[in-house]
Amino acid sequence: MPMEKTILAKDLEICRILNGMWQVAGGHGQIDSESAVSDMEKYHESGFTTWDLADIYGPAESLIGEFRRKIGKKEKFQALTKFVPNPGPMSNSIVTHYIEQSLKKMDTDCIDLLQFHWWDYNDTSYLDVLHHLSKLQNEGKIKHLGLTNFDTKRVKIMIENDFHIVSNQVQYSILDNRAEKLMVSFFEKHNIKILSYGTLLGGFFSEKYLDADEPHRGDLTTASLQKYKNMIDAWGGWQLFQELLRVLNDIAKKHYCSIANVATKFVLDKPQVAGVIIGARLGIVNHREDNIKTFDIKLDQKDISLIETITKKSNDLFEIIGDCGDEYR
């Protein structure tokens, strides 16, 4: 089955499964840059040509630069990076300085999609940042502007200020459907797409955890597992999660695929979702062959209903946490 692609914005086609580079930032095993770049080539050859990264993901941008030099200019891939500044006054020169750094590290003249993140809504300088980023976009240094972990209220303010936003990257999974409360309907109106992460709960959506005892903190060997165990606890706890895994396992067997495939397809089928970001532990472990099977599956209404019989027993994460991204503020 070939990779499914989608038009995220004018002149920007992306893979619907994106390679997430958060894992190179630390907390997921030691990354060796040579084996990482070699692994990136394998992803590319397998059709996984869209990379999600950030200026704060350790060596991620530099790895993209090395990768670009290794495969040559003729080979096309998409690198979507993030600008994650510390809140404070944001002059044009400060923003330009950071974007120039990203361009240099990534060895490119133009960033395909710049996904902006801001930690503190009380500091409205994020609107200044968008103004400066739009200027850099007009200068041809950024192709498109997107966001990471902004809530619907703030995106509405941006739209009212005439900023053109093509996407917002948020947590979205079978467990976490907060995007469906406010964001999806607003995004449909304004043609903004969702790039989802946390869709596999850092690896919890897998056969490995089916009928497994609840892990202790010491068993959670990656930053992702630690983060998403907290999400499972808030959602409804380990026993309810086991009920969900058993249902997903039955659906996976029916479709001759993995639990991860079912969890990924469930979110890919949602309105406004352009793609799902799946973490790549470069040079350590990969799931390329399994991930590509996602596109073979057609979840039917019976599958969806079975999943919903479990999820309707859970806590409402929107009530507990708030809108998408509020877990970071």
Q: Give the residue from 45, 44, 111, 121 showing the smallest Cα distance to 80.
A: 111
Cα(121)–Cα(59) distance, integer angstroms:
28
31-40 pLDDT, tens per residue?
A: 778 888 999 9
2-18 pLDDT, tens per residue?
A: 899 999 999 999 999 99
Q: Are 200 and 206 in contact (CB under 8 A)?
A: yes
What pLDDT score does 104 carry?
98
Cα(245)–Cα(210) distance, integer angstroms:
6
Portion of the chain with pLDDT greater than 90, in percent: 87
pLDDT, averaged across the chain? 95
What pLDDT score does 28 carry?
58
Residues 6+ apart with CB under 8 A from 215: 209, 225, 229
What pLDDT score does 29 carry?
61
Looking at residues 236-264, what average pLDDT do you find? 98
Helix or strand run (H / E) with residue 78: strand 78-83
Q: Where are the domains of the chain?
A: 11-203+268-297
Lowest mean pLDDT among 19-23, 51-55, 220-224: 220-224
What pLDDT score does 299 carry?
98
What pLDDT score does 222 carry?
82
DSSP per-residue string spanning 100-162: HHHHHHHT-SSEEEEEE--S-TTSTTHHHHHHHHHHHHHTTSEEEEEEES--HHHHHHHHHTT
Q: Is the pTM of this model over 0.85?
A: yes
Nearest 5°: the CA angle 47, 48, 50 is 130
Residue 61 clears pLDDT 90, i.e. is over it: yes
Chain-centroid distance of CA 38 in Å reads 23
Cα(328)–Cα(148) distance, integer angstroms:
11
Residue 302 clears pLDDT 90, i.e. is over it: yes
State the pairing for strand pair 167-171/142-148: parallel
Indicate the class that CATH gives domain 11-203+268-297. alpha beta
What pLDDT score does 33 carry?
83
Residue 1 clears pLDDT 80, i.e. is over it: no
